[in-house]
Structure 1
Amino acid sequence: MDNFKQGYSIKDRQFWVIVTSLGLASVFVFAAMYSVQPLLPFFTEQFQISVSYASMSMSMTTLSVIFGLIVLGFLSDRHGRLVFIRFSIILTVLPFLFMPLTDSFFIIVVLRFIQGFAIAGVPAAALAYISEEIDHKSMGIATSLYISCNALGGTIGRLVMGYVTERFSWEMAFSALAILGIIIFAIVWLLLPKSRNFAMNERTIQKDLQGFWFHLKNPNLLKLFGLGIILQVSFTGVWSFIPYHLTEPPFSLSLKTISFIFLAYSVGIVGSPIASALAGKIGIHIVRTLGVFLLVIGILCTLSGSLFVIVVGLCMACLGFFSAHALTSSTVSRTATYQKGSASSLYLVSYYIGVACGSTLFSPIWSFFQWTGIVTIAAILPIIYILFLNRTLQKQA
């Protein structure tokens, strides 16, 4: 590129402006995405609906995120990153303003579907923005901090919604997130620097689609995409139905108390950097496998009758999940030999397919087998898949 400018390094003030702005954007959109998760039992009772119907407030958002990642990823390659990051935030705010005005759960699900598409604008453009504007030596730190904000946003969304709903009302909880989003939108609009090194993608959409098809014919990438789905199916399944489990005897916890248990999710903030550091010393496959086993052990701990053990187990599950997820994501980038960006996009799509499946397909398991059934399936799936993956990798070695 003729007018290419050196990317910002960790020593530059603009580096921290970018990291802070994108971090705040990430915090809000992921808070919005996972905000309804602790409210599923509340929705079931408040609107007199089934567990499966209540879970659609999560799964429909996720399906829309998947669609948005593909569409907005294409568009951001052609029209720039900044516009999609900014408008993703404000368009995510709007459904929160309308949700408190309706008493129809169907309308809430429709608004959540619209919101999901808007949410996708930040993850579709943020990492590309970082790769273009940050010096390659500082890119790893910027990316790790951004991904950590994903976990922080999920924690804040769950905590705010659960606490405010229990203390005041669900309408006020949605309004509180809307206010947070407006504040963050103003900060990002004012602070996030204009792109200096964006180059418009000259490829046709047909060429981009060919790139996707190229990756889908790569068996090694397909296995990694599959791991992303399986990890998220188990992880989301546990977090979607733990509120139902904890509202029942012998725990009988209030929504406010359950919202604080979601703080365990924040342990995932340190999962990515820890996993990356260990992978450099003992190998990425070993650390990823250890992460999966830690996830499974944590899930099994939730069968305990002790609330303390359950919380410890959830912390272990979060640490294991985010460690395995971070290393799987980086392995996708290394494995792809062509259009690495589209390979990463496909992994994100797989990841969110897992979110959708975990929040909806586990509903009949809960209905028939309760928490024991959820834990059994959530623990078995990752173990079987990681053993299969490691066995195929050994054969190729």
Structure 2
Amino acid sequence: MVAPSAAAVPAVPTVRADNRLTPGGPGYRRMSFALFLAGVATFALLYSTQALLPLVSDDFGVTASTASWTVSAATGALALFVLPLSALSERFGRRTLMTASLAVAATVGLLVPFAPSVGWLIALRAVQGAALAGLPASATAYLAEEVRPKALITAIGLFVAGNSVGGMSGRVITGWVAQEWGWRVAVGTIGVIAVGCAVAFRMLLPAPRHFKAGSLRPAGLVRTVRDHLANPLLRRLYAIGALFMTVFGAVYTVIGYRLTDAPFSLPQGIVGSIFLVYLVGTVSASTAGKLVDRLGRRGALYLAGATTTAGLLVSLADSLPFVLLGLVLITAGFFAGHAVASSSVSHTAKEGRAQASALYQSAYYLGSSAGGTLGAVAYHSSGWAGTVALGLLAVFGVVAITVLGSLAARVQRRPVAVQH
């Protein structure tokens, strides 16, 4: 009996183990906590002046619309710089760029308290926003590369939850500190906290194992961006992110003025504590994955839009409990919608994920900038009802775009008739 030759033995295919991070696995908790801290620092720095706008107005003798630019300049600069900085992350690595972004933004945060005029304050805030632009898109791209697909929505939800904690803690801390020592000490305190978050982030975040350096050629970047913008699903997700953030930016830019004015006339510390409702956003963002499992992505967006709408309408009452309930609903709806939309971008883009995420972040923060400015103008001209009307218009846009997405999905699933 002749033994079969080596050539006749069928080759056994080599199965490469998936060593990406997964809940319960090594490195996942460190990664989650590191990006959670990055989210905390990002939102705490980005919106450090938002709860303090009435004090900024009084200190420099400017209107609400002018003071709102201390927020809009930061978010607008982030929106403009997020795409070019995401290209740098493709070349130099996600962790490197995120570390540099946090370091620069935190350093500028230590300079903001010394702004001699509102113009200088707006300029420093713009620099801070531009520095932070390197973080959001790089973070979602890092997660898309290093985390298993089934855990991606949960991982991004935790990062977004860090955003909500940062936004909440930054406003609460600045509110109470400002009541005792003024807004300058308050924003300086946020700068110190951000430095600590940046150091811990760099120490905790695992080194990337699946990153492949790309090219910095402008032609390649333009082609990638063009391909993403040609994708109807990505375009819809970008618009949804912008519209959700328009609502959120408008509401939280103006709420400090409403609560310090009659009939509420609350002190600054209490107004800052109102932002504890961000904890609701922490929960809704971190559970977005379960929501999608039950309702699907579009179903989750419909629910987020309905929740935000209910919150806007409830907040119209001149009763503090109803205003608080309205803020809870708005916050829960916004963070759930944002977590679903941003994770859908990472899921949809198969190549150039950093650019796909950067385009989403750009639209998202342009929405924040527009919402903050337009919300202040609406409040100045028509009171809180004007701000609510702006928010309702934006939510209507979210629902309309989601409906279009549902119709497009039905058309794609419809079988093509074969003509004989």
Q: Which residue number corresponds to residue 58 of structure 1?
A: 71
Could you tell me which amino acid in structure 2 is paired with residue 326 of structure 1?
A: A
Q: List aligned pairs for 1:234-253, cutoff 5 A.
A: 234-253=247-266
Q: Which residue number corresponds to residue 322 of structure 1?
A: 335
Q: CA deviation at 1:35?
A: 1.2
Q: CA deviation at 1:136?
A: 4.5
1:34 to 47, 64, 67: 47
Partner secondary structure for residue 211 of structure 2: coil
Q: CA deviation at 1:393?
A: 3.0
Q: CA deviation at 1:375?
A: 1.0
Q: Does 1:378 align with 2:391?
A: yes
Identity of aligned residues (%): 30
Could you tell me which amino acid in structure 2 is paired with residue 245 of structure 1?
A: R
Q: List aligned pairs for 1:141-180, cutoff 5 A.
A: 141-180=154-193
Q: CA deviation at 1:306?
A: 1.3
Could you tell me which amino acid in structure 2 is paired with residue 18 of structure 1?
A: M
What residue ranges of structure 1 are gaps of 5+ in the alignment?
none
Q: Does 1:131 align with 2:144?
A: yes
Q: Deviations over 1:81-118 (max 9, x none)?
A: 22222222221122222222233111111110111111
Q: List aligned pairs for 1:194-205, cutoff 5 A.
A: 194-202=207-215, 204-205=217-218
**Once structures 1 and 2 are overlaid, which stretch shifts more, 24-33 or 328-337?**
328-337
Query: Conserved in 2, the CA contact under 8 Å of 1:4 and 1:196?
Result: no
Distance 1:106 1:376, change over 3 A: same
Distance 1:317 1:133, change over 3 A: same
Q: Which residue number corresponds to residue 242 of structure 2?
A: 229
**Once structures 1 and 2 are overlaid, which stretch shifts more, 351-360 or 166-175?**
166-175
Distance 1:10 1:279, change over 3 A: closer
**Once structures 1 and 2 are overlaid, which stretch shifts more, 361-370 or 327-336?**
327-336
Length-normalised TM-score, structure 2: 0.87
Distance 1:217 1:47, change over 3 A: same
Structure 2 distance, partners of 1:224, 1:122, is 20
Query: Conserved in 1, the CA contact under 8 Å of 2:137 and 2:354?
Result: no
Q: CA deviation at 1:142?
A: 2.8
**Once structures 1 and 2 are overlaid, which stretch shifts more, 133-142 or 203-212?**
133-142
**Once structures 1 and 2 are overlaid, which stretch shifts more, 5-14 or 279-288?**
5-14
Could you tell me which amino acid in structure 2 is paired with residue 325 of structure 1?
A: H
What residue ranges of structure 2 are gaps of 5+ in the alignment?
1-15, 411-420
Partner secondary structure for residue 144 of structure 2: helix
Q: CA deviation at 1:5?
A: 8.6
Q: Does 1:74 align with 2:100?
A: no
Query: Conserved in 2, the CA contact under 8 Å of 1:132 and 1:198?
Result: yes
Structure 2 distance, partners of 1:334, 1:56, is 34
**Once structures 1 and 2 are overlaid, which stretch shifts more, 91-100 or 149-158?**
91-100
Structure 1 distance, partners of 2:206, 2:32, is 11
Structure 1 distance, partners of 2:204, 2:404, is 48
Structure 2 distance, partners of 1:286, 1:186, is 39
Q: CA deviation at 1:391?
A: 4.7
Distance 1:132 1:287, change over 3 A: closer
Partner secondary structure for residue 383 of structure 2: helix
Could you tell me which amino acid in structure 2 is paired with residue 114 of structure 1?
A: V
Distance 1:83 1:332, change over 3 A: closer
Q: Does 1:390 align with 2:403?
A: yes
Structure 2 distance, partners of 1:5, 1:76, is 24
Q: Deviations over 1:182-225 (max 9, x none)?
A: 22232233333333332101473312211211222333432332
CA RMSD of superposed structures (Å)? 2.3
**Once structures 1 and 2 are overlaid, which stretch shifts more, 269-278 or 174-183?**
269-278
Could you tell me which amino acid in structure 1 is paired with residue 156 of structure 2?
A: T
Q: CA deviation at 1:330?
A: 3.3
Q: Which residue number corresponds to residue 228 of structure 2?
A: 215
1:365 to 368, 378, 381: 378
**Once structures 1 and 2 are overlaid, which stretch shifts more, 173-182 or 258-267?**
173-182
Q: CA deviation at 1:138?
A: 4.4
Partner secondary structure for residue 283 of structure 1: helix
Q: Which residue number corresponds to residue 125 of structure 2?
A: 112
Q: CA deviation at 1:266?
A: 1.9
Partner secondary structure for residue 68 of structure 2: helix
Q: CA deviation at 1:324?
A: 1.8
Length-normalised TM-score, structure 1: 0.92
Q: Deviations over 1:116-135 (max 9, x none)?
A: 11112221322222333344
Could you tell me which amino acid in structure 2 is paired with residue 345 of structure 1?
A: A
Q: Does 1:351 align with 2:351?
A: no
Q: Deviations over 1:29-80 (max 9, x none)?
A: 2110011111111111111012221011011101111123112110011011
Distance 1:240 1:9, change over 3 A: same
Structure 2 distance, partners of 1:193, 1:331, is 24
Distance 1:192 1:379, change over 3 A: same
Distance 1:368 1:180, change over 3 A: same
Q: Which residue number corresponds to residue 99 of structure 1?
A: 112
Q: CA deviation at 1:21?
A: 1.7
Query: Conserved in 2, the CA contact under 8 Å of 1:333 and 1:344?
Result: yes
Q: Which residue number corresponds to residue 199 of structure 2?
A: 186
